[in-house]
């Protein structure tokens, strides 16, 4: 219903130029209203609808709009499910559209059939300069279709094919085509069949990829330090062994529940936001633990289940993140660097956690701030929350 009202306003708006509605659970029924509104809007130049669960039906409506719209220059449908049928609808529209310059349909399971339709459109389209076809299960056959189109297309300058399966044969097709296409060749000098990509890569040293690997390292470091520090309150507060074991094990109740569910959820939220949310939840639960520890054990169990549920989604989310950010030639390096965080977090927690337990402040200080072990959780929880904000600032779901 909200999308319908938004679309009604868009029909008459004459000032708005950019709309970003990514990761908003706007499925086909609602997205159709936005697509229909594009046929009447005369000012919008950028529309981003990535990670919304949009399918081939909405792709058809968007294609119909593109036949009539003369102002939209950028359309992003990254990480949707339009498939080869939706790609065919968009391709048909591109044959006639004279305004669109950037199309992002990465992560849409387009495959070789959908790629063929888009390649056919490139024979006729004279305005598109950038097209993102990353993570679309495109094989050598699809690369051949694109190569044939590139021999004749004279406007495309950027073609992104990372995370596909074009292999050595597909790379040869594209390489041969680039010898006849002087426009796109400038951005394809490092065509890499091993990485299955045709976009240029900056060196790893001092790159944004390395910065994100460092941030991921720190995030996992903090989470594992939070996880393994819970043994200390039970010893200091003299909890019974049975209670202590129950509280320690409750973390894994939540952890087990979210392993599979998180791999589905990250598709809709996007790895950037979802990872920030998970570490924020774990850190908030850690920050509250000293306060809750003065209550009855059911409340502590609930807090631990929440922390476990948050950390259970870490690995599925980070794997999804690196699937688009890590080139094949650097994947081992980046993942190894980031994966050192859990081990380092565990080691450091076992060392400094015990040290925190050895000191306490004066009795005049409130209980929840008096004992040294509490400061261990305040420190890790606070740093985790700060990390979530920093991650949202510097990270993105895709390099594009």
pLDDT tens digits for 160-195?
998 888 888 888 888 888 776 655 543 333 344 434
Domains of the chain and CATH, by start: 2-185 (3.80.10.10), 208-394 (1.20.1250.20)
pTM for the full predicted model: 0.53
pLDDT (0 to 100) of residue 358? 64
Residues 331-353 have a mean pLDDT of: 90
At residue 192, the pLDDT reads: 44
DSSP H or E segment with residue 75: strand 74-76
Whole-angstrom Cα distance, residue 123 to residue 234? 69
Structure-token pair, residue 99: 């305004």
Cα–Cα distance, 159 to 202 (Å, whole number): 16
Share of the chain above pLDDT 70, in %: 85
Which pair of structure tokens corresponds to residue 314? 């870490």
More confident residue, 86 or 3: 86
**Cα dihedral 387, 389, 394, 398 sign:** positive
Question: Helices (DSSP H) in the chain: which residue ranges?
Answer: 2-12, 28-38, 56-68, 83-94, 111-124, 140-150, 167-178, 182-185, 208-228, 231-236, 241-269, 271-292, 297-312, 314-325, 328-356, 367-370, 372-394
Among 18-27, 284-293, 329-338, where is mean pLDDT lowest? Answer: 18-27
pLDDT in tens, 104-116: 999 999 999 999 9
The average pLDDT across 278-288 equals 95
Q: How far apart are CA 332 and CA 268, in angstroms?
A: 26
Burial class (CB in 10 A: 0-12, 13-18, 19+), 46: middle
Q: Which of these, 54, 99, 105, 114, lies nearest to 76 by C-alpha position?
A: 105
Give me the phi and psi of 20, to 5 degrees please: -120, 110
pLDDT level of residue 212 (50, 70, 90 thresholds): very high
User: CA 153, CA 109: separation in Å to the nearest integer?
Assistant: 24
């Amino acid at each position: 219903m909200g999308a319908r009202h938004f679309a009604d306003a868009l029909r008459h708006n004459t000032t708005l130029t950019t709309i970003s509605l990514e990761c908003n659970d706007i499925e086909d029924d609602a997205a159709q209203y936005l697509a229909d509104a594009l046929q009447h809007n005369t000012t919008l130049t950028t529309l981003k609808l990535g990670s919304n669960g949009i399918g081939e039906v909405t792709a058809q409506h968007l294609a119909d709009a593109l036949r009539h719209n003369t102002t939209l220059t950028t359309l992003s449908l990254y990480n949707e499910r339009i498939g080869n049928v939706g790609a065919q609808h968009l391709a048909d529209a591109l044959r006639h559209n004279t305004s669109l310059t950037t199309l992002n349909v990465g992560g849409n399971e387009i495959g070789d059939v959908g790629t063929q339709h888009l390649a056919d459109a490139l024979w006729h389209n004279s305005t598109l300069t950038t097209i993102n076809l990353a993570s679309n299960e495109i094989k050598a056959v699809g690369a051949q279709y694109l190569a044939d189109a590139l021999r004749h297309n004279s406007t495309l300058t950027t073609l992104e094919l990372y995370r596909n399966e074009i292999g050595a044969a597909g790379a040869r097709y594209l390489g041969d085509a680039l010898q006849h296409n002087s426009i796109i060749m400038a951005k394809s000098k490092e065509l890499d069949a091993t990485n299955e990509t045709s976009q240029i890569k900056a060196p790893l040293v001092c790159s944004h990829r390395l910065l994100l690997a460092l941030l991921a390292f720190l995030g996992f470091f903090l989470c594992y330090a939070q996880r393994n520090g819970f043994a200390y309150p039970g010893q200091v507060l003299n909890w019974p062994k049975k209670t202590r074991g129950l509280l320690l094990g409750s973390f894994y109740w939540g952890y087990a529940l979210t392993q599979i569910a998180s791999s589905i959820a990250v598709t809709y939220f996007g790895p950037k936001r979802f990872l920030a949310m998970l570490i924020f939840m774990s850190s908030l639960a850690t920050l509250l633990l000293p306060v809750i520890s003065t209550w009855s054990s059911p409340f502590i169990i609930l807090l631990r289940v929440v922390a476990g549920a948050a950390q259970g989604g870490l690995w599925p989310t980070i794997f999804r993140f690196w699937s688009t950010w890590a080139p094949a030639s650097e994947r081992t390096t980046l993942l190894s660097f980031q994966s050192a965080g859990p081990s380092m977090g565990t080691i450091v927690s076992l060392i400094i956690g015990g040290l925190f337990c050895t000191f306490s402040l004066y009795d005049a200080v409130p209980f929840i701030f008096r004992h040294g072990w509490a400061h261990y959780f305040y420190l890790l929880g606070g740093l985790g929350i700060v990390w979530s904000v920093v991650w949202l600032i510097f990270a993105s779901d895709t390099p594009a």
